[in-house]
Structure 1
Amino acid sequence: MRGRYLNEDERIVIADRRRAGATLQQIAAELGRHRSTISRELRNNAHPVSGDYRPHAAHAQAQARRPRPKTGKIPANPGLRQVIQDGLHLRWSPEQIVRRLRRDFSDQPELHVAHETIYQALYVQGRGELRRELAAALRTGRAMRRPHRQAQQRTPRMATPMVMISERPAEADDRAVPGHWEGDLIIGKDKKSTIGTLVERATRYVLLVHLPNGRSADVVRDTLIDTMSSLPEHLRRSLTWDQGGEMAGHGAFTATGIPVYFCDPHSPWQRGSNENTNSLLRQYFPKGNRHLRPQPRTLRRRRRPAQRPPTQNARLGHPSRAPR
C-alpha cells in the first residue's frame, strides 16, 4: 500500500527509470505520484558531488532527515527572529513579513521562510494556543488557531452518502402529486429549544414536530419516523432537507421507504415552501419563549381614517368629493 512518503521500492523504480531516460511525468504516472514529488526527490536526495541518484543511499538519507522534533529555522537564526519581531510590532501579518523578507533580503535565502513557519513559531504547539505576550501581535486578535483542512481531509457530516435534490423525481418539482415534503428546524433562544417543521409541497399542509429532547441526529431521526409513519402511505413519497447535521441519520430514515433529498449548500430557495412557512411561524414561536409554545397575539382593530365632510360645489349645485 502506498504511503505518504516514498518507500525504498519506489526509489529503486525512480533510479531505474531515470537511467532508462524516462521523463519525470512518466515516472510519476507509473508510481501514481505527483510530478513535483519525483522532482523534489531527485533534487534533495541525489549525490551531492556526482549528482547521481542512488536509491538505497537516498532512502537512508530521507529516513535520517525525517525524525521530529527539529530546531526551527526562526529560533536558530537570531537575525531572522529580530526581523520577524519588528514586523509584528508594526502590526504586519505573517504573509506581509514573508514578502518583505524576500524583497529586502533577496540575496540571503537563509532569511526566507514561509508564513506557516512564523505561525508555528508563535503558537504553542502542545495546546494550539497563542502565548499571552504575543496575543496582540496578530491583527486578527485570535488567541486560538483555526485549522484549515483540505476538503478531502474533512470529516464527512453524513455517515451515509447524500442523495442530492437534482435526483428528486419530476412529480415533486411540479407539485402535481401530494406526498412530497420539505423539512427544517426552528431553533429557539440560545439554542435551548427546537421544533421541526414539515410542509407538504402540493397542499402546503404543515406538520409541527415536537423535539423536547434536543436536536441530535438520533432524536430527529426517531421523531421524524414516528411523525411520518402516522401519515397515509400515498402521502409519504419523499422528504427534502438542507445539509444540516441533524439529518446525519438519514440512512435509517430512508430505510422506512421515504427517500431523503438534500439541497445544495446555501440554497434556501430549493425549499421555498418550508422557508416561507418558517418565516410565518416565527411570529407564533418567538425566540424568547424557551418552550416554543404558541403565543397569543393581540389583534388591533385598524382605525379607519376620518371622513371629511363633502364640499359644496357652487357651480354644479351638489356635493363633490374632497380633493385627494
Structure 2
Amino acid sequence: MFEIRKDRAKALGGRRRLVREREEYFLLVDQGYGNTEACRLVGINERTGREWRNGRTAKDRFRAPARPASAPVVPSRFLTQADRLHVADRLREKATVRAIAAELGRSPSTISREIRRNGIPLRGDTSRWAYRPYAAQARSDARRPRPKPGRIGQNSRLRDYIQERLTRRWSPEQIAAQLPRDFPDDLEMRVTHETIYQALYVQGRGELRRELVHALRTGRTRRKPHRHAARRQPRFATPMVMISERPAEVADRAIPGHWEGDLIVGPGHRSAIGTLVERSTRYLMLLHLPNGAHKAEHFHQVLARTIQTLPSQFKRSLTWDQGTEMAGHGAFTMATDMPVYFCDPASPWQRGSNENTNGLLRQYFPKGSDLSSHSLEHLAAVAAELNGRPRKTLGWETPAERLAKLLAAS
C-alpha cells in the first residue's frame, strides 16, 4: 500500500515536487483505477490527477501532460498527436466536426469516430463529452500493437460452438448468422465469418483445429481465387425452348414451383446423381440414378417420376443446361405437363441456385468418386441435411422451414 507523505510543507528550495506520488498515480491508472480513486489512494487532489493525465491548459491551448505520450511513427492514414491537438483546440472553440475535418484534410466520419472512441464522458455525464488530446493519443497507441489475441481463442464457449458446427459442415457465414439467434443477449457470442476463416487459415493463430479446414465446402488448406466452371456445349437434334422465352415470374422467385436441375457426374461419366433445386425456397431433391439411369433413354423417366410426387402448385417449370441427358425433354413435358427451358451454352449462372447447390454437394460426393455406390437412403439423408441448414438468401431460415410455410399457406 502506498504511504501518503505527511510532510508537505515548504522546504529549502520551495515546495517539494510530488515525484513518487505521480509515479504511483500512473501505476494505479495503468491498473484500471479511475482518476478519483487513484487520487484518493495517492493522497492528491483530483484536479492534480487530471492535470497529470491530460495536461495543463493555458490560454485555451493544451500543454503536454506530466507523463509525455509516446509518439510512434505511424502511417499517414492514422491521426497524429498534432492532429489530435488541433481537434481538441478547435472543439474548445466550438468548431463543427466538418470544419475540423476540412482543415485537417480528413473525412468528417474520421473526426467524429476519433472523438467518440477516444473521448470520455465529462465527470461520468454522458451528455457532456470531453476530448483530451494526449489521453486520446495514449488510448490510440494502446490499441495499435499487433498481434492482438483473437476473440475465438479467448472464448472457449465460442470456440466450441464454432468447431461443433464446422464438423456438421456449416459454412462460416451460416455460423456467424446463427450466433445472434442462439445467443440474442450475449454480445460475447458474436463473430464475423471472416474471423472464422482467419482462425482456420492464418498460420500461428491456433484458434481452431487445423483439420477443420477439410470440413469447409472447398476442402482447401489455403485460400485461392475461384476458377471458372468447366464449359460444355452439347446440342440437341430436337427443338429446345430457350431460357429467353421463360416467363418473367420465374426470374423474381416470388412464385414457388420453378425448379433448376443438373447432374453431378462421376469419373468417365459412368455414374451420376441428379439434383433439383426449387428457386424460391432453395429446397433440394436428389435423384438416385443406378445402372446407367443417367443416360438420355432412361433419365427423363426417372425425372418424371420424381416430379410427379410434388403438389401441383410446385410443378410450374424446369430449367436445365444443354446436357445430353435431357434429350427426352419432350417426353418429360408430356408426362408431367411441366415445360423445360434450356440455358444458353456455357452460361451456368443462368441456373445459379443449382450451381451453388452442386458445389455444396461436392463436399459429400467428391469429384472423381464413384457415385453409384450411394444408396437412395443416403441421398435422402444428404438432402435432409442441406435442407436443414440456414441460408442467408432466405433470411437465415432453412429451405425446409420456408417450404413448410408455403405448404401451410396453400
Same fold (TM over 0.5): no
**TM-score category of the 2 structures, normalised to the smaller one:** 0.3 to 0.5
Q: What TM-score results when the alignment is normalised by the length of structure 1? A: 0.42
Q: What TM-score results when the alignment is normalised by the length of structure 2? A: 0.33
